[in-house]
Amino acid sequence: MPPTPQEDPDSAVITTDKLSKSFSVGGAQQHVLRNLDLEITAGSFTVVMGPSGAGKSTLLYALSGLDRPTLGTVRLDGTDLTALGEDALARFRRGHCGFVFQQVHLLDSLTVLENLLVVGLLVSRDRGALADRARSLLERVNLPERDWTKVPTMLSGGEAQRVAIARALMNRPAVVFADEPTGQLGSEQSAAVLDLLSDVHADGQTIVMVTHDVRSAARAERVLYLRDGHVSHECSLSGRTDQRTQALTSFLTEMGW
């Protein structure tokens, strides 16, 4: 068996080659991503920053197969996403990508536990194993057991986002993609969600996250700055929280943030 990405920390789990994405708006082409070359290392925590409208979400959608590039290729976990048909792409995505969005998108007609199970059932029929995994993930995100049978509308925004993270992890994805996951949360709940994402990363999970928030971004090891359709600059972060925040703040100041 080849090593899984988590066991081989030097391997790239995502590689793009001249990734380009354009939208046709009122007959005119808007070139949002232009010839973007990028490698994401397995097990890394990468943040994408940049001005509003720079194409951060567009990039995340292209990397994860939620949307297709106009030109260029995206390889994820050894598979060229651009070569897959619609059904194969959807299947691949379910098994290899976890998603956490600003809006939680849990199914309100199901309990918390069932929300995890339905995602697991997309890739497995082993209900017993799925139930065990769902329970252990809900423990992992520190959701008390009394909340597992609640419907999502009974949870706070922060609790619901923690459930969304558990759901994103359900099928042991190669990469968790998070698009402004704390955008709707207050500072205390944001910190809890980011602590959780940091813990999940410490367990070996590859994470690619879009955020506007410097303190959130300082959790990452690598910050990509998206401008003019490509990664114009990037910065590596290490050391204590205050050192990382300081390094990132000076980087962003240089970017004219």
* Pairing label, strands 79-80, 71-76: antiparallel
Site of tokens 């972060």: 237
Residue 216 binding: pick among ligand ADP, Mg ion, none (C-beta 5-8 Å cut-off by kind): none
CB of 143 to Mg ion, least distance (A): 27
CA 216 to chain centre: 13
Query: Residue 65 — left, alpha, or beta (φ > 0 → left; ψ -120 to 50 → alpha)?
Result: left
Residue 206 binding: pick among ligand ADP, Mg ion, none (C-beta 5-8 Å cut-off by kind): none
Q: Are 116 and 167 in contact (CB under 8 A)?
A: yes
Rule CB under 6 A: which residues touch ligand ADP? Answer: 23, 25, 32, 50, 52-58
57 binds Mg ion (CB under 5 A): yes
Q: How many residues bind Mg ion (CB under 5 A)?
A: 2
Dist. CA 104–CA 184, nearest whole Å: 9
Residues 113-132, interacting with Mg ion (CB under 5 A): none
Residue 186 binding: pick among Mg ion, ligand ADP, none (C-beta 5-8 Å cut-off by kind): none
CB of 48 to ligand ADP, least distance (A): 8
CB of 60 to Mg ion, least distance (A): 8
CB of 68 to Mg ion, least distance (A): 18
C-beta closer to ligand ADP: residue 47 or 54: 54
Residue 97 binding: pick among Mg ion, ligand ADP, none (C-beta 5-8 Å cut-off by kind): none
CB of 228 to ligand ADP, least distance (A): 12
Name the burial class of residue 28, with classes exposed (0-12), middle (13-18) and buried (19+) by CB atoms within 10 angstroms of its CB: exposed
CA 27 to chain centre: 32
Query: Residue 145 — left, alpha, or beta (φ > 0 → left; ψ -120 to 50 → alpha)?
Result: alpha
Residues contributing to the site for Mg ion (CB under 5 A): 56-57
